[in-house]
Amino acid sequence: MEKIQIICNPNAGRQIIQKNVPKLVELLKDGKKSVDLTYTKGKFHAEDLGYESCSKGYDLIITVGGDGTINEVVNGMMKSHTKSKLAIYPAGSVNDFGNYLKIPKNIEDFSKIIMKNNSMKVDVGASDQRYFLNVAAAGLLPEVAHKVSSEAKTVLGKFAYYIEGIKEFSKIMFKPINIKLYNDGCEEEKEILFFILANSPSVGGFKYVAPEAKVNDGHLDLLIVEHGDFKDVASIFVKAFTGSHAKHPALKYLQVQKFTIHSDEAIDLDLDGELAGRLPASFRVENQALDILIP
Ligand SMILES: Nc1ncnc2c1ncn2[C@@H]1O[C@H](COP(=O)(O)OP(=O)(O)OP(=O)(O)O)[C@@H](O)[C@H]1O
């Protein structure tokens, strides 16, 4: 009998997709599967559930939520020695990894993915303290994202990022961060606006932020936006809609396995859209460390 644990964040996104979950349980119970459903109660609960589910020998863990819920479950799974497979049912305000994998929101179509049990091994990013599945970032962009109230995000979905972003931009735009970068044995000191370290191409609702990124290549794609003027940043944003920004002169684009960043200022670190401490931080990639169901 295959054992499935569904970990559902009832508060993620607009709380609409979650209404499908009892039906998902029914669709999956076919006599050969046992399905348990647990709703998360608050911060880090999904992480504990992810850890426990692996320890208890569940074959598959399905997350229902956004990138924050996935991040917690992945942290729990990575910290456990026994590995279950992961499936993502996107129900958050931003679902970058689920969108990248083209996971359907229709419940019947999603249940077919579980029945077929097709999987691929994907890389997982690691910082000093925590794992991330999709992105680590610090600087201007994450600061904007964290200033968006969760009420605004519930009503407006990902557009809230951009609306709130415009307001915040005028206040904090172009405040550069002095950083020291260590990559591949080289040390460099520079002023940047922000960096993004991406596993998949899709970040913050933009499909092609890291157009060269592959989730199973043993590398993370590092984008550093250097301190430039408004024209530069605006043109990077516009080009990012289509993925044609990678060669912009104000942008440094590298593929890395390890990367360390220091700053003298207290700069917040964002992992998969959640606040996760402050710089300095070191990052590495764990190659194909997680088995994930795909369409
Ligand atoms: N029952 C709960 N009530 C409130 N928050 C919860 C609950 N369960 C989990 N959380 C927290 O919700 C946060 C956001 O989750 P997630 O990113 O999956 O959804 P989202 O709606 O896309 O997020 P955000 O509110 O950041 O836009 C996570 O940090 C998680 O710890």
C-beta of residue 269 within 8 angstroms of C-beta of residue 276 = yes
The token duo for 155 is 């009503």
9 lines ligand 1 (CB under 6 A): yes
> Ligand 1: distance of its center to the CA of 179 in Å?
31
92 lines ligand 1 (CB under 6 A): yes
Average pLDDT over residues 154-178: 60
Average pLDDT over residues 90-106: 93
Would you list the domain boundaries of the chain? 2-117, 132-287
Q: Which of 119-133, 169-183, 195-209, 258-272 has the lowest mean pLDDT?
A: 169-183
> Could you check whether the bond before residue 280 is cis, i.e. omega within 30 degrees of 0?
yes
Give which of 181, 266, 265, 186 is closest to 223, Cα–Cα. Answer: 181
Atom of ligand 1 nearest to the CA of 44: 31
Average pLDDT over residues 173-188: 76
C-beta of residue 272 within 8 angstroms of C-beta of residue 135 = yes
pLDDT tens digits, 77-97: 999 987 899 999 999 988 999
Atom of ligand 1 nearest to the CA of 43: 31
C-beta of residue 139 within 8 angstroms of C-beta of residue 194 = yes
Can you say whether the dihedral through the CA atoms of 71, 119, 51, 15 is positive or negative? positive
272 lines ligand 1 (CB under 6 A): no
Confidence of residue 204 (pLDDT cuts 50, 70, 90): confident
How many whole angstroms from its chain centre is CA 181? 23
C-beta of residue 119 within 8 angstroms of C-beta of residue 291 = yes
Can you say whether the dihedral through the CA atoms of 20, 21, 22, 26 is positive or negative? positive
65 lines ligand 1 (CB under 6 A): yes
How many whole angstroms from its chain centre is CA 277? 16
The pTM (predicted TM-score) of the whole model is 0.90
10 phi-psi bin (left φ>0, alpha ψ -120 to 50, beta other):
alpha
Torsion of CA 105, 45, 276, 247, to 10 degrees: -20
111 lines ligand 1 (CB under 6 A): no
CA distance 24 to 263: 46
How many Cβ atoms sit within 10 Å of the Cβ of residue 26? Answer: 11
Q: State in Å, rounded, how far the first CA of the chain is from the last one.
A: 22
Q: Is 274 considered catalytic here?
A: yes
50 lines ligand 1 (CB under 6 A): no
Q: Tell the residue number behind the tokens 């950083």, with chain if given.
A: 179
Helix (H) or strand (E) holding 290: strand 281-293
Atom of ligand 1 nearest to the CA of 66: 18
pLDDT tens digits, 223-274: 988 866 667 777 777 777 777 777 777 788 989 998 898 888 888 899 998 9
Confidence of residue 205 (pLDDT cuts 50, 70, 90): confident
* Mean pLDDT score of the chain: 86
Query: SS3 of 135, please?
Result: strand
Query: SS3 of 264, please?
Result: coil
CA distance 150 to 32: 39
| Fold of the domain spanning 132-287 | Tumour Suppressor Smad4 (2.60.200)
Q: Which of 9-13, 98-102, 107-111, 135-139 has the lowest mean pLDDT?
A: 135-139
In this predicted structure, the answer to whether residue 189 has a pLDDT above a threshold of 90 is no
How many Cβ atoms sit within 10 Å of the Cβ of residue 72? Answer: 27
Atom of ligand 1 nearest to the CA of 95: 22
CA distance 14 to 160: 13
How many Cβ atoms sit within 10 Å of the Cβ of residue 248? Answer: 19
Q: Is 152 exposed, middle or buried (0-12, 13-18, 19+ CB in 10 A)?
A: middle
Q: What size, in residues, is the chain?
A: 295
pLDDT above 70: percentage of residues in the chain: 85
Check if CATH label 3.40.50.10330 holds for domain 2-117. Answer: yes
Give which of 95, 27, 34 is closest to 63, Cα–Cα. Answer: 95
Complex ipTM over 0.85: yes
pLDDT tens digits, 45-73: 999 999 999 999 999 999 999 999 999 99
**Atom 1, ligand 1: residue with shortest CA distance:** 41
